[in-house]
Structure 1
């Protein structure tokens, strides 16, 4: 019996990837942690603002002569800043940490787009703005539990999914060239493999597993497209030696396994 739903997405490169959805329990756990962190942050903000406002009220009241008006303006500004802190928390971390907030990272879940790509500032902002509605009367929780794709309103609007972070590495059941094995040991030193997400690795693995059934032209085109994207993701300016895109992907596949197993 499966306790978690699985979903299959198709990347822009026409590679099908299968993910395990995060589930209501993991998402609630992550949100609880985020709200604790966010609550502490907002509490510190209000304490700092109160200290700042006390001194400012005295100064402005002396100049303007209307303390009530000054207090109302300071409260309005504080509420606006409070809103920016709330929305900025989720947007900042989901964009910077590639779909994760502190709570999601601890719960080992991640937000991705419906096509498996990373979320951007547009998706993160939409999800955060609609979170206020989703949290009202637990609307989001009901939608997650009742929907096959476990999406709340923010996910539907932004076109996103929340998946489990899966670092399980499948056994190599395809040939790996000797050249790729040699390059794999170098990549950990010359490339930033930490930027490679599980879905990036899954796309590489899917290609390597299915390449034998592709035509020569399709295999060459897809390997080149994937290699260019992966090269950008891991901040690799140039390859140490002249090699094919297919060999490069084999090397990244091996290097990633070495990284997560160490």
Structure 2
């Protein structure tokens, strides 16, 4: 069930790819249309929240960056990723916990993924998930 945990560097690479996939087109549009920083932030939110919440639910735990890196989000109990799981992982884990701690919890999470045998970060514990190289159904 819990095979081939993905570690820090591959997860970082997948996150960078996702950030580029979302950020570059938004930056280009911002320049073309002369958008303010506030408008860019709004567009980024409108695009990134559904991307990180819905795409893994619809695509077996993958985002484009994770798929490119051959890793995916999986539930610890083996069940299919659902909207509730992703809401816990992304909204509670990333936005609330990492936001409230001004990024300190994100640094702790990076060390957790790098040093813990199970490679789980704070948001993984909150949502009951882990990131794996295993394909869906393995």
Q: CA deviation at 1:83?
A: 2.1
8 Å Cα contact 1:87-1:125 kept in structure 2? no
Q: Which runs of 5+ in 2 are unaligned?
A: none
Q: CA deviation at 1:20?
A: 1.2
Q: Please tell me whether residue 161 in structure 1 is matched to residue 135 in structure 2.
A: no
Q: Deviations over 1:55-97 (max 9, x none)?
A: xxxxxxxxxxxxxxxxxxx94x653342232222211321121
The correspondence for 2:94, drawn from 105, 114, 131, is 131
Residue 150 of structure 1: aligned partner: 119
**In structure 1, what is the Cα distance between the partners aligned to 2:126 and 2:83?**
13
Residue 113 of structure 1: aligned partner: 75
**In structure 2, what is the Cα distance between the partners aligned to 1:45 and 1:88?**
19
8 Å Cα contact 1:110-1:163 kept in structure 2? yes
Pairwise CA RMSD of aligned residues? 2.7
Q: Which runs of 5+ in 1 are unaligned?
A: 1-16, 54-73, 167-196, 200-262
Q: CA deviation at 1:145?
A: 1.8
Q: Residue 74 of structure 2: SS of its match in structure 1?
A: strand
Q: CA deviation at 1:18?
A: 4.3
Q: CA deviation at 1:49?
A: 5.4
Q: Residue 198 of structure 1: SS of its match in structure 2?
A: coil
- TM-score normalised by structure 2 residue count: 0.77
Q: Residue 3 of structure 2: SS of its match in structure 1?
A: strand
Q: Name the CA shift for 1:106/1:80 in 2 (closer, same or farther; >3 Å).
A: same
Q: Please tell me whether residue 24 in structure 1 is matched to residue 8 in structure 2.
A: yes
8 Å Cα contact 1:112-1:118 kept in structure 2? yes
Q: CA deviation at 1:38?
A: 1.5
> How many pairs align?
131
Q: Residue 27 of structure 1: SS of its match in structure 2?
A: helix
- TM-score normalised by structure 1 residue count: 0.44
